[in-house]
């Protein structure tokens, strides 16, 4: 237990952390800190009170570290680079100790892995995109990093030099896999934008009877295979999306108008009325004719103005 803020900051600096200013620290400040080394890696376990911390940028000419901060208890919000990460237990974030940082946290415990930047073997531009970005520590490769950091902080001892180097390399490799997976998730954003454009294209052309996956792919200069891949994790395939939106348009029009089923179906791209009727019933569980009949019955039952509706009402409702 460290009961003095100045001593605590000195220990952090000795471990490779930048100078940090805790705006909430008072005379009753208490914290816990344990440091262990594994080859070129340093694991620092911290237990800190509620904090609001700022750190300024600093110049480190060579051998600078990156930091993987893993939450084990409490919550913290960290701002660094372009990132703004809200972390809960098990979540983690990649930080650059040479950059300005700001974070606010509840009373919490966390493990930080300090690793030489050169060990990670990820291009600087990619690292820049990852700094300050939350990594989910509950699933996928991010969960493995989170569990490893928490377990290693408790049990890391008794390594021979060669074993320590190989183990450190495995830890770094696992961190790299998780970070590259996060980059892959970011790269999916252009796919989402393209899918949104295609969905809008479909919506605007539902009345075109020739609307088809082949035509959509050609209009967006992609292959049909690429088009289907864009929608493989969506609730509906491209063809099913076209059918469903056309059926919804037909249903809305049949409810609101007195047009015939054939006319409405043709307006929204269904050239075969029989096929449309079968498809409608299979989708909604009742025939399209039921909407026509219900609309007609409602019109028949609607009375015109009568004597009892003008002026004072003298009869019974």
Fold held by 5-187: Jelly Rolls (2.60.120)
- pLDDT for 226 equals 93
pTM score? 0.59
Write down how long the chain is: 317
Query: For the chain (length 317 residues), average pLDDT per consecutive 10?
Result: 80 82 85 90 92 82 79 95 90 93 94 90 85 93 91 71 84 92 73 87 91 95 93 88 93 84 93 93 91 71 45 33
- pLDDT for 177 equals 92
Q: Which residue has the tokens 């803020």?
A: 5
| pLDDT 10s digits, 85-113 | 999 999 999 999 889 999 999 999 999 99
Q: In sequence order, which ranges of the chain are alpha helices (DSSP H)?
A: 5-14, 117-120, 124-130, 140-155, 161-204, 213-219, 224-230, 238-256, 261-267, 273-284, 288-301
Q: Does domain 213-301 have CATH number 2.60.40.10?
A: no
- pLDDT for 198 equals 93
Are 91 and 135 contacting, i.e. CB atoms less than 8 angstroms apart?
Answer: yes
- pLDDT for 281 equals 93
- pLDDT for 7 equals 86
> Which SS3 state, helix, strand or coil, does residue 51 take?
strand
Domain extents in the chain: 5-187, 213-301
The Cα–Cα gap between 89 and 78 comes to 14
- pLDDT for 154 equals 67
Question: What are residue 80's phi and psi, to 5 degrees?
Answer: -155, 140
Strand-pair partners of 120:
none
Residue whose C-alpha is closest to residue 264's, from 296, 289, 297: 289
């Amino acid at each position: 237990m460290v009961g003095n803020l100045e001593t605590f900051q000195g220990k952090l600096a000795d471990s490779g952390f930048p100078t940090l200013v805790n705006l909430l620290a008072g005379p009753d400040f208490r914290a816990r800190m344990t440091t262990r080394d594994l080859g070129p890696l340093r694991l620092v376990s911290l237990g800190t009170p509620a904090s609001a911390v700022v750190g300024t940028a600093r110049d480190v000419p060579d051998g600078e570290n990156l930091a993987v901060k893993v939450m084990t208890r409490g919550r913290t919000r960290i701002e660094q680079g372009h990132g703004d990460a809200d972390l809960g237990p098990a979540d983690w974030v990649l930080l650059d100790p040479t950059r300005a940082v700001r974070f606010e946290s509840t009373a919490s415990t966390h493990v930080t892995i300090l690793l030489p930047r050169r060990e990670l073997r990820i291009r600087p531009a990619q690292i820049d995109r990852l700094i300050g970005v939350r990594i989910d520590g509950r699933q996928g490769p991010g969960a493995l990093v989170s569990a490893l950091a928490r377990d290693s902080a408790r049990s890391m001892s008794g390594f021979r030099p060669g074993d320590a180097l190989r183990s450190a390399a495995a830890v770094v490799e696992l961190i790299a896999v998780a970070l590259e997976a996060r980059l892959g998730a970011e790269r999916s954003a252009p796919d989402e934008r393209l899918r949104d454009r295609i969905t809008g294209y479909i919506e605007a052309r539902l009345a075109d009877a020739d609307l088809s996956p082949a035509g959509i792919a050609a209009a967006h200069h992609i292959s049909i295979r690429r088009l289907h891949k864009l929608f493989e994790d969506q609730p509906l395939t491209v063809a099913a999306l076209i059918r469903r939106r056309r059926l919804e348009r037909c249903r809305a029009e049949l409810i609101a108008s007195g047009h015939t089923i054939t006319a409405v179906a043709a307006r929204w791209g269904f050239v075969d009325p029989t096929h449309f009727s079968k498809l409608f019933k299979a989708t909604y569980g009742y025939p399209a004719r039921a909407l026509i009949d219900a609309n007609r019955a409602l019109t028949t039952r609607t009375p015109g103005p009568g004597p009892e509706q003008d002026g004072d009402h003298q009869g019974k409702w």
